[in-house]
Structure formats: structure tokens, C-alpha cells
Chains A and B, each alone.
Chain A
Amino acid sequence: MVFDEKNTLSPLLIALWLMLACGLYISSIPFLGNIRIDAVALLIIFLGLYRPASLSLNLAFFAGLMQDLVALAPLGQHALGLTVVAFILHYLHDEARLLNRVMQWVLVLGCLILLKFLSSWITALSLGILPGLAAYGSALVTSLLWPLLLALALRQPRVRRPAS
């Protein structure tokens, strides 16, 4: 996929990615225990940074509701966090793309921690107890996949040179 800020992605393609991300989110990864890869959040952050024309608050909210449904979580728990992150990225994407890869990874980790923080507080409001630091393990593991996602999504297509 070649980076082009103004070019929007097809809704069908986004819907397909979203379904795949939801599937990955509920997948149990061997040896990781309860830690899950928050692929939906990663997708929203990627769209927010590299395809901002494709990411609206509506899409982020809808993605969050889908994530709530597949995770059998209360409706709104993930939707709120993803909408807030999409809102922040709307104002940050220009500066964020100028950052080097390490700083960009830190930004992604920050977004994932913010998502987890909001989700944890919503859980705390119902259960009365705030989850411990171990709950943020999934944010760290998910952020480690950011370089891989960039490498796959932003790879340049091979152009065959005409035979001279």
C-alpha cells in the first residue's frame, strides 16, 4: 500500500480489516495467557496516522462497538476509548508522521495505554476496583506489532521495468 493521505480506503476493505482485527483480538495466543493483541486499536491508530482521510469518529465509534460485541463486553467500553484516540490522532497525525520510528512507536504505545486506561476505569466504575499494572501487558505486546504493521502496510509495490 502506497501512502497517500488524501486517498480514502474502500469501506469494504475497512470492514474486512475490522473483522480480521476483531478475530485477532479474541484469539488466544499460545504462551501469552490472558494477554490479547488489540488489533482493532492498532488498525484505528494506523488509519489515524497514515490514512486520516479514511478515519472518522463515526468509524472509530463503530469499530469500538464491534469490539465490545465480539469481546462480550458492555457496549461502549471500547467504543469510548477508540473515539477519544481517533479524536486525538485527528489533530496529531501530521506531526506524528514526521517522528522517527521509535518516537512513533512510543506514541502508539501511549495511545494503547490510554485506551486500556479508559477501559479499566469503566470496569472500575462497575466493579469498584481498578485493575493492576498487569492489565497493561496487552498494550505493550500490541505496540510491539506496530513496526510489523508498518512494514506490511506501507511497502512499496514492485514496478517492473520495461525491457529495453
Chain B
Amino acid sequence: MANDRHLFRRGPASVNALMFFAFVCAFLLAINYLTDWLDPVRTRVLNLVSPLYQVTNIPQELRQWGDANFASREALLVEVQELRDQNLILQGRVATMATLSAENTRLRQLLNVAELVEQRVLITEMIGVPPGSEVHRLIIDKGAGQSLFVGQPVIDADGLIGQVTRVADDYSEVLMITDRSHAVPVQSLRSGTRAIAEGAGDNFLRLRNLPVTTDVQTGDTLVTSGLGGRFPKGYPVGQITSVAIEDGSPFLEVLVEPAASLQTTRHLLLLFSDRQTRSLAPE
């Protein structure tokens, strides 16, 4: 009798029950993939579950804290020296960039290019990675409260990370460029060739449908082309690591290694683009 009070009472594990649950699962999956009815629920769930990710990320944070606090004095001195050198190089580049930027503005005025795009950034921190090696996603600690929006580009110090795909109140989900459902328009810095880089899983991207006569080489750097309007132009996406021609195929098989540190990065930048239209009347 006592068993009757149990919430999860054990019933007969019949084939009918199994078929019923299999049908319910198939129904839920079909709704998920074919409609967007569950989107509000998933956004609500993201808001509820994200704090849990923050808690469960503590072991990783402890490890990083340990790495940072138990480093030897010599190692820290070496790191400081490296950062000073890097800072010097970057300051030099910034000085050059100011000149280039002014020159660029003058050239734009000469060419009568009306639109200038300025990027505003917001620093965010990755708080967790949902399980599942097939889907490459991140959860970040900024949400609708900080004016994030779906489709917003996310970068790190080295290159493009991906885009925001779901925004909750204080958290958001980011789809990385290596995910198989992600694609980004790119351009080769060397030859100017444009292509679409699709996520290939396993920390790689793939350029598809490129004819064998296309001018691409191993080592080419790819940047965002700006086509499509989602990602701003000129952010590093990756470097071509292999170019192969499959027998009988009219297309190249090109693999690209992402420029961003997708597996290790913690601090990310969210890009806001303020499009300013200027009427440039010739003087």
C-alpha cells in the first residue's frame, strides 16, 4: 500500500508505454525543429538554467584561479615582460592605425561613400558550455538587459567567435562559427576571393562549392566579407589549412582553422554597429 503514494510508481514496462513515450519524444522533436512554438519556453529555460551553469563552472574557475595564484615569481615576471613587449607593439600599431584611419576617411570622402560604420563593443564573460559535442554553443553573462539582440556578432581578441542566437533577461546563448548549422560570408585577404565558411564541427570550418579554379591556397587568411549584413567587414575568421580536390568532384575541399581561441577563451566582445549616414557633398 505504501508504494501507492509514490510519485514515480513502477508500472508494467509494456511495449505500448514505450511506443507512447517514443511518440511523445518524436512529437516534441518535430515541434522543435519544424516550428518556433517552443522558443519562448527555451528562452525562459535559458534564464533559469544559466545560474546553474555559473555554479557548475566553479571547478574550471578554481583551476584557473589556481593557475593564476600558484604561478612562480619567475613565470609571472616572464609573462609581465611578454605583455609589456606586446603592449609596445600594439601601441605602435595603434599609432599607424590613426594615420590609416584618417587616410581612409579622406579616401571615402573622395569616393563619395556615404555610409560609415562605427563599432561599439561590450565585454562579456563566458559562463558555461552546454553539453553535447555536436552543437558548439556558449552561454554568456549578458542579455536583453544590456540591449543584446539575436544575430549580434561576438568576437575575441583573435577573431570571430560566432553570433548570439537566443537572448534571455541576463544571459544569452552564442552559436560558434564551428557549429554545423552556422555559415559566415568570408573573403581571402590575399586574393579577395569570396566564399561561405560553414562550420564543420571538431573546431574547423569548411569552404563549400568553390570551383577547382578558385584562387585559394593553404595559409590564406580569411576575414568576414560583410556580405549579408550580419557580420561587419574585416574581422579575422581563420586560416586555410588544407586545399584538396576530390576525384571527380568539380569543387575544392577547403578546411579552415578558426582564428579565435574557441576552446579556451573566456572573455568576449559583443559588437554593436551604429550605422551613421553622412551626406558627403563634394566641396
Chain A residues packing against B (C-beta within 8 Å): 8, 10-11, 14, 23-30, 33-36, 52-59, 61-62, 64, 69-77, 79-80, 83-84, 86-87, 90-91, 119-120, 122-123, 125-129, 131-132, 134-135, 137-138
Contact = CB atoms under 8 A, between A and B. Distances in A.
Given A57-B11, A129-B180, A79 B21 contact: yes
Interface string B30-66: 0111000010001001100100110111011001000
Interface of B: 3, 6-11, 13, 17-18, 21-22, 24-29, 31-33, 38, 42, 45-46, 49, 52-53, 55-57, 59-60, 63, 128-135, 137, 139, 173, 180-181, 201-202, 263
Nearest to A80: B25
B8 A87 contact: no
Contacts of A25: 131
Nearest to A60: B21
Nearest to A29: B59
Contacts of B181: 127
Contacts of A29: 59
B10 A53 contact: yes
A55 to B, nearest CB: 7
Nearest to B180: A127
Given A58-B8, A72-B42, A132 B202 contact: yes
Contacts of B130: 26, 71-73
A10 B8 CA distance: 9
Contacts of A119: 132
Given A57-B21, A79-B24, A79-B28, 5 more contacts: A26-B128, A28-B56, A61-B25, A123-B132, A132-B201
Given A74-B32, A76-B26, A57 B56 contact: no
Nearest to A68: B28
B131 A52 contact: no
21 contacts: A24-B56, A26-B53, A26-B56, A26-B131, A27-B59, A28-B56, A52-B10, A53-B10, A56-B8, A57-B11, A59-B8, A61-B21, A70-B52, A72-B173, A74-B28, A75-B28, A76-B25, A77-B29, A125-B29, A127-B180, A131-B134
